[in-house]
Structure 1
Amino acid sequence: MFTLEEKLGYAFKNKALLENALQHSSYANEHRGGGMRSNERLEFLGDAVLGVVTADYLFRKHPDLPEGDLTRLRAALVCEDSLHEVAQSLELGRHLKLGRGEEQGGGRRRPSILADATESVFAAVYLDGGMEAASELIHRVLLDKGREEAVEERRRDFKTELQELVQRKSGSTLGYRLVGSTGPDHAKVFEAAVLLNGEVFSTGTGHSKKEAEQAAAGAALEKLQQA
C-alpha cells in the first residue's frame, strides 16, 4: 500500500503541514480543545498557487491564445471536477480527517471536500518545499496528464453535435430518457439514455441529468462515427 507521500512523489520535511492539509473543518471543530486547525487557510493559499502555476503553464503552451481563451482554459483546468479527479487518483479521501457527522454523511467521497483538500495539499507542498516543488507536483498530477484535452472534450456540446448528425439522416428521430439514479442526495449519479427512433441507443452517467444526457450523447456519437 502506497503512502500519501509516495503517491504525491514528495517527502515532507515538516509532516505537520501535510496533517493540517488533511484536517477538515468538521474535524477541527470537534477537537477545538486540542488546538486543531482546519485546512481552510491552506485551501486559500493552495488556490492561489494552483492559479499561478496553471496560468504560467497555459501562457507558455499557447503563445497565440488571447486572454479570454486562456482565462476559460484555466478556469476549466482548476475547477472542482478536475481537482476531484486528482484527489481520486491520489486516494486522498482515505487520508482525510473528518468530524463524525461529515464522516457519516459520506464526506470522504464528497467532490467539494476532496477538491478543497487537493488545494490544501498543494499549499502544504508550497510551504514545505517552495514554488518549484509545488509546481512539479501540480504538473505531475494535473497539467501533464492530458487533462487539458479532457477539459476540451467536456466543453463540447455532444447533444448539439448528435442532433446535427441525426438530422442529416432523414427519417431518424432523437430523444432522451432518464434511466435512474443512485447514491445519496449530496452525491447522486444519474443515468440517461439516448433514444434513436424510439430505441435505446446508448447510455451515460453524470452528477446531474444534463451531464448524464451529454455523456449519453457522446457515447452515441462515438458509436455512429465507428459504424
Structure 2
Amino acid sequence: MNTISRQRLLNRLGYEFKDPDLFDLALTHRSCGARNNERLEFLGDSILNFIIGEALFERFDEAKEGQLSRLRAQMVKGETLAEIAREFDLGPNLNLGEGELKSGGFRRDSILADAVEGLIGAIYRDGGMQAARDRVRVWYQSRLDALQLDTNRKDPKTELQEYLQARKAALPVYEVIDVGGEAHAQQFTVACRCELLPEATEASASSRRSAEKMAAAAALQQLSLSNPGGRG
C-alpha cells in the first residue's frame, strides 16, 4: 500500500493508528499467509454487534428484543459492511495474495466486509472501546438515522416508485446537489423531484445512497400529508 493511498484511507476512516502494524494487519487477507486479519475480524464482529446493539437500544426505547435483533442483523450483515467498505474505497488498499488479486478479490463483498470488521477490531486494540464506538457510530450514522422500527416496510425509494407508478406519474429523479465536509466525513445532499410535488425534497447523509433513501422518505411523507390514506 503506498503512503498516499494509506493516508487517504486513514482520513476517510477518521482514525490515526498509534500502531501502524495493526492497520496493515486489518487489511491483510488470509490469502497472504498466516499473518492475516482473521483474529481481528473475529474481535471486530463482536464489538460491532455490541456497538450497534447499544445504538439501537438507545434509539428505539420501546422496541422489543425481536425487533432490535432484526434491526441489528440488518445493520451488521455482510452487504452493509461491504457498502461501507466501498464508501471508504477500501478495496484497492487490501493486502491480497496473488490468486485473490487476479480474481478481483478486492471487489468481493465477503472480503470487503471482513476487512471492515478487522479495522474495527484493530481500532479497539489500538485505542480502546471508546475509540471503536466513536468510529462505528460515525460510519453508521446516516444508516441509523434512516432506520425504521417497522422492518417489514420496503425501501423508501422502492415505496416511492410504486406509489408514483400506481398513479401513472413519472418516476422520481435524484440529484446530488452538494458534497461537503472533510474527506473522512463527507456529507452528500440529494434532491428528490417528483411530478406530484411542487418542490423537491432534500436530505443529507454520509453516503449518496442513504441520502437518496432519506429524500425519498421525505417525499413519501409529503405525499401522504397531501393525500391522507393514499400510501397504498
Q: Give the equivalent residue in structure 2 for 1:67.
A: 65
> Does the 8 Å contact 1:125/1:133 carry over to 2?
yes
**1:146 has 2:143 as partner:** yes
Which of the residues 6, 12, 17 maps onto 1:7?
12
Q: Give the equivalent residue in structure 1 for 2:92.
A: 94
Q: Give the equivalent residue in structure 2 for 1:116.
A: 114
> CA shift at 1:154, angstroms?
9.1
Q: Give the equivalent residue in structure 2 for 1:39.
A: 37
Query: What per-residue deviation string (whole Å, max 9, x for no partner) do you get for residues 83-136 of structure 1?
Result: 011101111111100011111111011111000100000000000000100001
Across the two proteins, how many residue pairs are aligned to each other? 165
- Distance in 1 separating the partners of 2:80 and 2:145: 10
TM-score (norm 1): 0.64
Query: What per-residue deviation string (whole Å, max 9, x for no partner) do you get for residues 165-199 of structure 1?
Result: 85x99xxxxxxxxxxxxxxxxxxxxxxxxxxxxxx
Q: Give the equivalent residue in structure 1 for 2:76.
A: 78
Change (3 A) 1:81 1:96: same
Q: Give the equivalent residue in structure 1 for 2:211.
A: none
- Distance in 2 separating the partners of 1:37 and 1:5: 21
Which of the residues 133, 136, 144 maps onto 2:134?
136
Change (3 A) 1:110 1:61: same
> Does the 8 Å contact 2:28/2:36 carry over to 1?
yes
Q: Which AA in structure 1 matches 2:78? A: E
> CA shift at 1:145, angstroms?
1.6
Higher Cα radius of gyration: 1
Q: Give the equivalent residue in structure 1 for 2:52.
A: 54
> Does the 8 Å contact 1:51/1:74 carry over to 2?
yes
Q: Give the equivalent residue in structure 1 for 2:105.
A: 107
Identity within the alignment, %: 40
Q: Give the equivalent residue in structure 2 for 1:199.
A: none
> Does the 8 Å contact 1:77/1:148 carry over to 2?
no
**Relative CO higher for 1 or 2, CA cutoff 8 Å, sep ≥ 6?**
2
Any runs of at least 4 consecutive aligned residues in structure 1 with deviations exceeding 4 A, and if so which? 150-155
Q: Where does the alignment leave 5 or more consecutive residues of structure 1 unmatched?
A: 29-35, 170-217
**1:16 has 2:13 as partner:** no
Change (3 A) 1:90 1:154: farther
> Does the 8 Å contact 2:82/2:109 carry over to 1?
yes
Change (3 A) 1:21 1:148: same
